């Protein structure tokens, strides 16, 4: 089995909200787009394009994508005059979560999560309207964080446009229609104008994922990394205990964990995908090999 690897970059045309646990009346957002959210957006767009007349067959298109494609998370990127450079998360023992641009040295300090949010995120105020009085309903005032369409400099002045950079793997014979998509809407409240992305250029063939080695000649693609760039599951034991200590079995991981769930409208229940999982940026003591699953999470190979 062979997978073909492509790099794609999506410019943020409308603020993007991908929810995370709220803080009081503040609806916080992630600074990246998980693969599952991307899969949902691509499924919706492809199903509507292919239907012609009648109802879109969302389940069939979604299953086809699960079979023939794998997606990495999309991370915020800025243009340096030559290329779009992604900012990637990484947990440091003495700093917590920091963000480092992919083209900079490993010993670069990067940006703290707080500074990264200050550069990338803005908030939108909203409230519910009481229909009996046409006034704001008591206790309904809230703010929603969104990834901005433009970066913000440290002094508060606007900077260049924000893009989201990631990778897609397709089976040799699979899913040519992905290359035809130029715009998608991803994340929460997309019907109200949030989350509009426009693809920049084409799907460019590549040999690495964010400068990480990837193996494409297996049933499932495998990436070699010490830092998770997706939610990762590490509670399974390595198949070959003899490989302990040579890079296939991380002795410990530092970072953060969270439970991940999602709606399955066919079953009308909340379906837990897996959990708890290590969050993006969590780091193993040594490089390991990770399977990119159909859900876009990483699982210890």
pLDDT digits (tens, 9 = 90+) for 125-141: 888 888 888 888 877 88
pLDDT digits (tens, 9 = 90+) for 91-106: 998 889 999 999 988 7
**Cβ contact 76:32 at 8 Å:** yes
Mutual angle of helices 58-68 and 35-50, in 10-degree steps: 130
- pLDDT range class, residue 80, cuts 50, 70, 90: very high
Q: How far apart are the first and last CA of the chain?
A: 17
Compute the distance between CA of residue 274 and CA of residue 198 in angstroms, rounded to an integer: 30
Compute the distance between CA of residue 4 and CA of residue 169 in angstroms, rounded to an integer: 5
Compute the distance between CA of residue 128 and CA of residue 134 in angstroms, rounded to an integer: 10
Compute the distance between CA of residue 235 and CA of residue 257 in angstroms, rounded to an integer: 12
Alpha helices in the chain, H assignment, sequence order = 35-50, 58-68, 113-120
**Cβ contact 121:18 at 8 Å:** no
**Cβ contact 101:89 at 8 Å:** no
Interior/surface letters 60-75, b for 16+ CB within 10 angstroms, e for the rest: ebbebbeebbbbbbbb
**Most confident of the ranges 49-58, 69-78, 149-158, 176-185:** 69-78
Is it the case that residue 270 has pLDDT exceeding 70? no
Residue 280, pLDDT score? 97
């Amino acid at each position: 089995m062979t997978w073909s690897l492509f790099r794609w970059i999506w410019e943020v045309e409308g603020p993007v909200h991908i929810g995370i646990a709220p803080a009081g009346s503040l609806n916080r957002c992630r600074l990246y787009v998980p693969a599952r959210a991307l899969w949902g957006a691509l499924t919706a767009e492809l199903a509507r394009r292919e239907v012609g007349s009648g109802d879109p067959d969302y389940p069939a298109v979604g299953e086809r994508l699960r079979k023939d494609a794998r997606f990495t998370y999309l991370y915020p990127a800025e243009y340096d005059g030559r290329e779009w450079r992604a900012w990637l998360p990484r947990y440091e023992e003495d700093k917590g979560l920091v963000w480092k641009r992919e083209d900079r040295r490993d010993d670069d300090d990067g940006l703290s999560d707080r500074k990264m949010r200050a550069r990338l995120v803005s908030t939108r105020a909203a409230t519910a309207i009481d229909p009996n009085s046409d006034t704001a309903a008591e206790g309904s005032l809230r703010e929603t964080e969104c990834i901005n369409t433009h970066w913000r400099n440290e002094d508060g002045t606007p900077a260049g446009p924000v893009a989201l950079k990631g990778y897609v793997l397709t089976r040799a014979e699979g899913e040519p229609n992905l290359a035809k998509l130029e715009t998608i809407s991803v994340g929460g409240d997309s019907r109200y104008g949030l989350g509009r992305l426009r693809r920049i250029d084409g799907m460019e063939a590549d040999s690495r994922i964010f400068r990480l080695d990837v193996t494409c000649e297996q049933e499932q693609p495998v990436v070699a990394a010490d830092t998770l760039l997706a939610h990762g599951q590490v509670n399974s034991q390595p198949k070959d205990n003899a490989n302990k200590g040579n890079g296939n079995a991380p002795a410990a991981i530092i970072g953060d964990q969270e439970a991940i769930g999602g709606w399955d409208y066919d079953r009308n229940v909340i379906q837990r995908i897996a959990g708890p999982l290590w969050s993006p940026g969590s780091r193993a003591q040594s490089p390991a090999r990770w399977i990119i699953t159909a859900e876009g999470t990483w699982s210890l190979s």
